[in-house]
Amino acid sequence: MSMIAKDNGGISIPPLQNGVYIAICSGLIDLGIQVSEQFGTKSRKMIVQWTVLDETIEINGEKLPRVMHKQYGFSIGAKSNLRKDLESWRGRAFTDSELNGFDLKNILNVPCQMQIITKERVGKSDVNNISGIMSLPKGNSVDKLNEKDLIYFDIEDLNTYKDFERAPKWIQEVIKQAENYESSGLKKYVEENIKEDIEDGEFITVDDTEDLPF
């Protein structure tokens, strides 16, 4: 398997300024089993999506919510990035019971503070990185998002396939490269239910995709 990233003439989104933002988890998107030819490994991956509150982007004259993405494995082992971020976000360590199985759906629609830093790249546009995720200050709260604005996609759960099409197009293309794209039944679902009508220029180039370590 191979994936070649290139400039496809999409819309370049300027990075956010460095700082701490309030965000709310608006998506959990299963990437399926991804193969790394570089490291000779394969593992199940996912994307967590956050909507950054009070920040918007304008695309084709339409103001849209600003979102950020970060890729994780499904492990909450002691050295995993997912565990580190979740414990910082929740403001407490996992219990032994939670370590035996934590339902990730619990983080949907949960707010956080997000530290954003800008990574400068020679010959390319700057890109935002999520350097830290923390709980809100004690006593603070934000309004939850509408359920219709949340994305929850599990490649192993047919009942969530309707949200596949709502995921960003670049994420859909990553999912289609999953080792279990066909065996899960998703390929058949896509072929039977989703019309391929993407034209040149509809893709949005989001630079933080280039830092996903596949």
**Residue type (1 letter), 127:** V
Average of pLDDT values for 18-46? 92
Q: What is the mean pLDDT of residues 137-163?
A: 94
| Average pLDDT estimate for 67-88 | 93
pTM exceeding 0.75: yes
Q: Is 141 helix (H, G, I), strand (E, B) or coil?
A: coil
Residue with tokens 């910082």: 88
* Whether residue 123 has pLDDT greater than 70: no
Least confident of 46-50, 89-93, 151-155: 89-93
Does residue 208 or residue 160 have the better pLDDT? Answer: 160
Question: For the chain, what is the total number of helices (H) and then of strands (E)?
Answer: 4, 8
* Tokens found for residue 74: 């499904």
- Position 11 scores a pLDDT of 56
* C-alpha to C-alpha distance for 58 and 66, rounded to whole angstroms: 9
Interatomic CA distance for residues 159 and 9, integer angstroms: 34
Residue 210 has pLDDT above 70, yes or no: no
Pairing of strands 11-12, 204-205: parallel
